[in-house]
Chains A and B, each alone.
Chain A
Amino acid sequence: MNDSFYENWTTQLRKGLLELAILNTLGGEALYGYDIVRRLGEVDGLVITEGTVYPILSRLKNESYVETYIEESPEGPPRKYYRLTSRGREELRRMNQHWQRLHEAIGQIRKERGR
């Protein structure tokens, strides 16, 4: 496997998993955009271009998986908070299950091959 192949593969994987990461970030509490970006940036291996988060949030909102509300902040401008809708929670549950199955399947293959 050469470097460009590996880099391309990891980039595609990260892109594919970004929605899942964002939804999971919102799983526990409502967050504003900058905070979501910051938290994702702290996750090792999930290196992202910060701006890519916002179109995904917009798409998730468009699909009614998240909803927004504005809240005043003592430290600056009013902030737009994102939180999961019930539809978003259900979708997150399904996505996490699927991810778990994939993770286990790869683990099983690796185990069978003795790696």
Chain B
Amino acid sequence: MIELSESARQRFDDYLHRLRITLRGSRTVQADDVEQSVREHVEIALAGVPVPVGAESLAPVLERLGPPERWLPDDERPAWRRMMERIATGPEDWLLAYLSFSLFLLAMLLFPVVGVFLLLPAYLVSRAYVEFVAGRAEAIGARRWLVYPAIVLPLLFALLLFLVGPVAPLLAWGIGDREFHRPWNLTADEQPMVERLRIEVGLSAVAFGAWWIVASGIAALLLRPIRFTFAPLLDRMQRRHLLFLTLAGIVAAGVGAAVLYA
């Protein structure tokens, strides 16, 4: 190998170290082979330069070779390395996406005590990311898998709360109360099991049906903030979609009334 000054040697060693790190793990490229070629390249490029070759002579040769980190196409580098690089050096849109997913993952791992408090920041980062991408008129692409989970989970919670509403806790309290069956002239102890069940099912259906009719009206009034909160998942939601809930409410209430008074 050509004789290098101390500073040039240090610089060249650093360069080769970066090269080895970049190529390590590649399925198709032999790091040793490339390193040997680069050594030969540098030696030929510096032939004729007075020895020991200084860093100022070596620098332009390495500059023309370019940063080893850019030598491999993205799909040839190991997936874990690509992910680490994106976290460390990636553009802010990727950083936000990974931050969102990390918070979501942490929330799941620490669920329920601590995790539940991490869901809110995970959701906020995801929503910020969605707005960021939309603002740049970009397609979210595969990054959706990192960002959407933190929006999907709150959406499912909200949907559950929305459908259950105040009805479920009221029914639970009512059925547990001995006076619940009084309007049908019987107390819980006096009624046969089947009869009690009929009353409870009928009342539940009427109560849920009525709530769904009211809830669909509330959702129709608040459609824009709902869409915004769960964008982009509910972007296509229209008021007419809520008619299905209204219809389900009417059917449930009708069936419930029929069960009660049949």
Tell me if A50 and B65 are in contact (CB < 8 A). yes
> If the complex has contacts A15-B73, A62-B28, A80-B37, are A51 and B66 also in contact, measured as CB distance less than 8 A?
yes
Kindly state whether residue B111 has any CB partner on chain A within 8 Å.
no
Tell me if B36 and A80 are in contact (CB < 8 A). yes
Give the complex CA separation of A79 and B43 in angstroms: 10
Contacts of B37 in A (CB 8 A): 33, 54, 57-58, 80
B residues 70-113 in Cβ contact with A at 8 Å: 70-73
Kindly state whether residue A76 has any CB partner on chain B within 8 Å.
yes
Q: Which of A15, A54, A57 has the most CB of B within 10 A?
A: A54
Kindly state whether residue A101 has any CB partner on chain B within 8 Å.
no
Kindly state whether residue B56 has any CB partner on chain A within 8 Å.
no
Give the complex CA separation of A32 and B44 in angstroms: 11
**Whole-angstrom distance from the CB of A71 to the nearest CB of chain B?**
12
Tell me if A51 and B29 are in contact (CB < 8 A). no
Chain B interface size band reads 20 to 34
Chain A interface size band reads 20 to 34
Decide if the interface of chain B is mainly helix, strand, loop or mixed: helix
Q: Which of B36, B38, B44 has the most CB of A within 10 A?
A: B44
CB contacts between A and B, total, < 8 Å: 69
Kindly state whether residue B64 has any CB partner on chain A within 8 Å.
yes
Give the complex CA separation of A26 and B71 in angstroms: 20
Tell me if A51 and B43 are in contact (CB < 8 A). no
Tell me if A54 and B44 are in contact (CB < 8 A). no
Give the complex CA separation of A79 and B37 in angstroms: 9
Tell me if A77 and B44 are in contact (CB < 8 A). yes
Tell me if B34 and A80 are in contact (CB < 8 A). no
**Whole-angstrom distance from the CB of A66 to the nearest CB of chain B?**
11
Contacts of A52 in B (CB 8 A): 66, 70-71
Contacts of A49 in B (CB 8 A): 64-67, 70-71
Kindly state whether residue A61 has any CB partner on chain B within 8 Å.
yes
The chain B residues found within 8 Å of chain A, CB to CB, are: 1, 23, 26, 28-30, 33-34, 36-38, 40-41, 43-45, 47, 64-68, 70-73
Task: Pull 7 A–B residue pairs with CB atoms less than 8 Å apart, ordered by A.
Answer: A34-B41, A49-B66, A49-B70, A51-B65, A51-B67, A62-B28, A79-B40
- Per CB-CB distance, the 5 closest pairs between chain A and chain B, nearest first, are A49-B66, A51-B65, A34-B44, A54-B37, A55-B29
